[in-house]
Amino acid sequence: MGPLGTVHAPSSRQLDLRDAAAIHQAVRQLRPAFVVNCAGYTDVDGAEDKPQAADALNHRAVATLAQACDAAGATLVHFSTDFVFDGAAGRPYTEADEARPLGVYGQTKLAGERAVLASPGAHLVLRVSWLHGPGGRNFFSQVGQWLQEERELSVVADQVSVPNRVEAIAAGLATLLQRAAAAEPGWLAARRGLYHFSAAQAMSRFEFAQREAQRLGAAARARLVPVSAQAFAGRAPRPMASVLDSSRLQAVFEIEIGL
Ligand SMILES: NC(=O)c1ccc[n+]([C@@H]2O[C@H](COP(=O)([O-])OP(=O)(O)OC[C@H]3O[C@@H](n4cnc5c(N)ncnc54)[C@H](OP(=O)(O)O)[C@@H]3O)[C@@H](O)[C@H]2O)c1
């Protein structure tokens, strides 16, 4: 048993979140103090073609999780996204800013958020952005390897958010849960709601790649070429600047997400 007690982490094969009865049964059986939902339909372009599949996981499953947690007296912690914003504000977004998603992925994530926030029990909705970490297969996880190849590397320079290491997100969440578990009953319920859960350093993918190249030194052999997001435009529109302002997290929980 680790510092967080016993942690059950079922795969999608062990617990298919599209199966409402299975969710209720799992929560009844395990009787968890906390349920952390990291699952999602995260194929942003694919969601445009399969809105029902995206809604099933990003919204309906989340609403069921909230119901099951309320019935069992468990606290639901749900991860959401900076893609609920359209990116037009020209400044970092706070929780008070109106969400206006540009695509189906963001719309379904917003519907999931609202289902959790409308539930009567203790809950947290934590918005994160640009995740990367070991085993990941996105730009941030792979650029270090690409930089070591003799090649030209075109990287988007006009789209900005905050790259977040999954280890830093997990550390922030562990701190929060440990505090909640040690606090008097009702401590977390009194602080329930929506929080931006991000590091503070905003940058483009191009700037991230430049930093990686600096870190690698002589091992970085690729030539970096800045390009516009239009060069890699997928089917789904994406926000051009979706930096999350996490001052509420600091003010309420005194937690800062590290780099
Ligand atoms: N990646 C980002 O840059 C980013 C940015 C902002 C917000 N987020 C949010 O952060 C969370 C995690 O994102 P991620 O990028 O780590 O996601 P991911 O790598 O695409 O992983 C998706 C997860 O969802 C699970 N899943 C898929 N279908 C399922 C089903 N039917 N039943 C149960 N579980 C299912 C998968 O489980 P299996 O592996 O077992 O199939 C997997 O663990 C999501 O809520 C996402 O919206 C991500």
pLDDT of residue 72: 97
| Amino acid identity at 72 | A
CB 224 within 8 A of CB 156: no
Q: How far is CA 14 from the centre of its chain?
A: 22
Catalytic residue among 41, 93, 105, 195: 105
pLDDT of residue 135: 83
Q: Assess if residue 207 is contained within a domain.
A: no
The number of the ligand 1 atom at minimal distance from the alpha carbon of 56 is 31
List the residue whose alpha carbon is closest to atom 23 of ligand 1. Answer: 39
Domain containing 248 equals 20-136+162-202+237-253
Q: Assess if residue 8 is contained within a domain.
A: no
CA distance 259 to 256: 10
* Ligand 1 centroid – CA 96 distance (Å): 25
Strands annotated E in 112-174: 123-128, 131-132, 152-156, 160-161, 164-165
Q: Assess if residue 157 is contained within a domain.
A: no
- The per-residue pLDDT for range 110-160, each reduced to its tens digit, is 999 999 999 999 999 999 999 999 888 899 999 999 999 999 999 999 999
* Ligand 1 centroid – CA 129 distance (Å): 13
Q: Assess if residue 128 is contained within a domain.
A: yes
Q: Assess if residue 259 is contained within a domain.
A: no
Confidence of residue 1 (pLDDT cuts 50, 70, 90): low
Q: How many residues does the chain have?
A: 259
CATH of the domain at 79: 3.40.50.720
- The per-residue pLDDT for range 177-232, each reduced to its tens digit, is 999 999 999 999 999 999 999 999 999 999 999 999 999 999 999 999 999 999 99
pLDDT of residue 4: 84
- The per-residue pLDDT for range 60-119, each reduced to its tens digit, is 999 999 999 999 999 999 999 999 999 999 999 999 999 999 999 999 999 999 999 999
- The per-residue pLDDT for range 27-63, each reduced to its tens digit, is 999 999 999 999 999 999 999 999 999 999 999 999 9
List the residue whose alpha carbon is closest to atom 18 of ligand 1. Answer: 42
Q: Assess if residue 213 is contained within a domain.
A: no
Q: Assess if residue 3 is contained within a domain.
A: no
List, chain by chain if needed, residues with CB within 6 Å of any ligand 1 atom.
Answer: 11-12, 15-18, 38-40, 42, 57, 79, 81-82, 109, 128-131
CB 205 within 8 A of CB 156: yes
195 is catalytic: no
Q: Assess if residue 112 is contained within a domain.
A: yes
Split into its structural domains, the chain has a count of 1
